Every structure is written in C-alpha cells, then in structure tokens.
C-alpha cells in the first residue's frame, strides 16, 4: 500500500519561542520569507503525497489562512501590476488537498497523532514536524518512502548527534541492515528511549521529525499512558509498536535544521539565505564584512 496521507501536528504551544509565539503560531515563523509549515507542505508535495491532515489547536488560524485563497490580497496585487507575486500567492493555496482537525488540548505529539485515527483509517501515513526543516536533494520523506516500499514497515528518520545532545531526543538502539543498497543508512530498531541521559543513551542515533507509520500505531497510542511532561509521547507508542512489529530507522541524506530552537532557527535562516539566488551573494558579502 502506498503512503497517501501526511499528518502535520501543529497544535503545540511553542513555549521555546515565546514571546514571538504568544499571538502567532510557531509554525508561521519565516525562514527568510517562507513560513516553517510551508517548507513541510512543499516536502509532502514533492514526495507525491496528495493529502495533508493538519492537527491544529487554539490560536492556529493563521495556518489555515495561509493555505487558503486570499482574494483581497490577490486583487490588490493584480491592481498594482504584481502578477508574478499574485501567481505565487495563488500557488500556495493549490499545493495540496488539506484537512484540518482540532486537538482540543495539547496533550502531546502522540495524542495529536491519535486525533487523526478516523481520518487516516487503515493505511500507512507520514508524519512531519515542521520544526525540522530539511535541506536535501531528494526530499527526506521521499527517501523514507523507498524504505517503506521495500519493507512495508514503519520508518523513522535518524540523525547522528554528539553524545551530549542526545537528551533532547528519542534515541534508538538498533543494528545496521547489511545490504549494499542501503549503504549503512538503514537500521533495524531494537528499542527506543525518550530523552535519556548521555551516559545511559543506547547510541548517538536520534529520531527527528519525519515518520512513516503503519496504522497499528493507533492502537498502541490509545493504550499509551501519559509520560514525560504529562504528555502522551510518540516515542512511548513506538516502543509498544516495536514489541509487535519491526520498525526501521533511516539516516537520511541531507541537512536538518532544528528550527524549533532559537539557535537552530538562526542557523537555518543564515544557511538558507546564503543559498538563495536572489540574495545569497549580497548576504555573504554582508556577513564577511562583520567584525566577528
Ligand atoms: P514540541 O515538542 O516542539 O512542542 O512539539 P511545541 O509546543 O511545538 O514547542 P515547545 O517545545 O513548547 O517550544 C513537536 C511537534 O508536535 C506538535 C507541535 O506543534 C510540534 O509540531 N504538538 C505537540 C502537537 O500538535 N500537540 C501537542 O500536544 C504537542
């Protein structure tokens, strides 16, 4: 079965970005001029998944408006002769089919995903956390879909991080799948631990915000008790799922920015701005002129 649905949970409170997120969603913070959430939706589209299911919450209306048609703005731009910009605005609203669901209380990522149970129904689906902006030649999700197509099992995206940083993530214990085709990038997961201390971490391979999940995850999440921070943790649900069926971890090719963190957000801004054809050269010159 192919992956036809992508879930984007955007109902979190975004406390690390307060006060910027007091009255606007974290997911609408722009890297240069594009909101985080649009990077994620474009990755879904480039991976040829036709439907996005947003899990939203209070104060997230700006996301719905962003992906809707804005006649006033389009008319205004047309009136000012800005046809190209008008076309750009229109194209955002026709990126994909989108469904919005509300998570009434932010009870955790696992809970947000569980909210989509009826809509996703009995098929595999992708999950993307828009905090993680990934710059890669082949979209990260598309790379993972190749793993799903070969094994028909859940796949989580992995990244190696320095040991002292593992305690911010879910960490895996796994063994490399010995197969030329996957070139040391694929791991069969044996266990997962949420935010371990560096000394106790089973490896330096951490889970980042891209998943392909089988629908069996719903039954496990429904039975997962609240864990760290009083939230239903996806990692706990995955741990239960692992006891029933295989899960693979995939070291994706590309660079990930943790844009949910202030420093990560700045790094993404600088590096993606440097890559922009319309401003990269000027920006590089400016950075070089700084007396650092
Ligand atoms: P985070 O752990 O980054 O939480 O959630 P957050 O609230 O967004 O940000 P901080 O940590 O307070 O700054 C990971 C993802 O899960 C979603 C978030 O929107 C984010 O995309 N999420 C989290 C939900 O949709 N619902 C929740 O109850 C919790």
Give the per-residue pLDDT at 85. Answer: 86
The mean pLDDT of 10-31, rounded to a whole number, is 93
Task: Tell whether ligand 1 has an atom less than 6 A from the beta carbon of residue 55.
Answer: yes
Domain that holds residue 67: 5-289
What is the tens place of the pLDDT at every residue in 138-157? 999 999 999 999 999 999 99
Distance 15 CA to ligand 1 centre (A): 9
Tell me the whole-structure pTM to 2 decimals. 0.95
Give the per-residue pLDDT at 53. Answer: 97
Give me the helix-helix angle, 262-275 and 280-289, nearest 10°.
120
Is 126 exposed, middle or buried (CB count within 10 Å of its CB: 0-12, 13-18, 19+)? buried
The mean pLDDT of 184-196, rounded to a whole number, is 94
Give the per-residue pLDDT at 159. Answer: 97
Total number of domains constituting the chain: 1
234: confidence class by pLDDT, cuts 50, 70, 90: very high
DSSP tag of 157: E
Distance 13 CA to ligand 1 centre (A): 6
Task: Tell whether ligand 1 has an atom less than 6 A from the beta carbon of residue 108.
Answer: yes
- Domain with residue 165: its CATH number is 3.90.550.10
Which pairing describes strands 51-56 and 97-102: parallel, antiparallel, or unpaired?
parallel
Give the per-residue pLDDT at 170. Answer: 93
Nearest CA to ligand 1 atom 4: 12
Task: Tell whether ligand 1 has an atom less than 6 A from the beta carbon of residue 16.
Answer: yes
55: confidence class by pLDDT, cuts 50, 70, 90: very high
In the chain, beta strands by DSSP E: 5-9, 30-31, 34-35, 51-56, 97-102, 125-128, 132-135, 154-160, 170-176, 186-194, 205-213, 247-251, 255-258
4: confidence class by pLDDT, cuts 50, 70, 90: very high
229: confidence class by pLDDT, cuts 50, 70, 90: confident
Tell me what the pLDDT averaged over the chain comes to: 94
């Amino acid at each position: 079965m192919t992956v036809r649905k992508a879930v984007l949970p955007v109902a979190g409170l975004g406390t690390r970005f307060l006060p910027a997120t007091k009255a606007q969603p974290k997911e609408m913070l722009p890297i240069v001029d594009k909101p985080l959430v649009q990077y994620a939706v474009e990755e879904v589209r480039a991976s040829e998944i036709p439907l996005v299911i947003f899990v939203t919450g209070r104060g997230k209306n700006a996301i719905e408006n962003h992906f809707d048609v804005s006649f006033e703005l389009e008319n205004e731009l047309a009136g000012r002769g800005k046809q190209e910009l008008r076309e750009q605005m229109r194209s955002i609203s026709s990126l994909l089919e989108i469904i919005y669901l509300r998570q009434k209380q932010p009870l955790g990522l696992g809970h947000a995903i569980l909210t989509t149970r009826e809509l996703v129904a009995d098929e595999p689906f992708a999950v993307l956390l828009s905090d993680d902006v990934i710059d890669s030649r082949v979209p990260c999700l598309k790379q993972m879909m190749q793993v799903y197509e070969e094994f028909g099992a859940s796949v989580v995206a992995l990244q190696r991080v320095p040991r002292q940083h593992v305690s911010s993530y879910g960490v895996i214990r796994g063994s490399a799948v010995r197969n030329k085709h996957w070139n040391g990038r694929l791991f069969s997961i044996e266990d997962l631990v949420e935010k371990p201390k560096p000394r106790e971490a089973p490896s330096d391979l951490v889970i980042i915000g891209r998943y392909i999940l089988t629908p069996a995850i719903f039954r496990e999440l429904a039975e997962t008790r609240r864990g760290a921070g009083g939230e239903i943790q996806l990692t706990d649900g995955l741990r239960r799922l692992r006891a029933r069926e295989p899960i693979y971890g995939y070291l994706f090719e590309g660079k990930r920015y943790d844009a949910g963190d202030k420093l990560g957000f700045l790094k993404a801004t600088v590096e993606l701005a440097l890559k922009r054809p319309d401003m990269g050269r000027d920006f590089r010159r400016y950075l070089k002129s700084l007396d650092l």
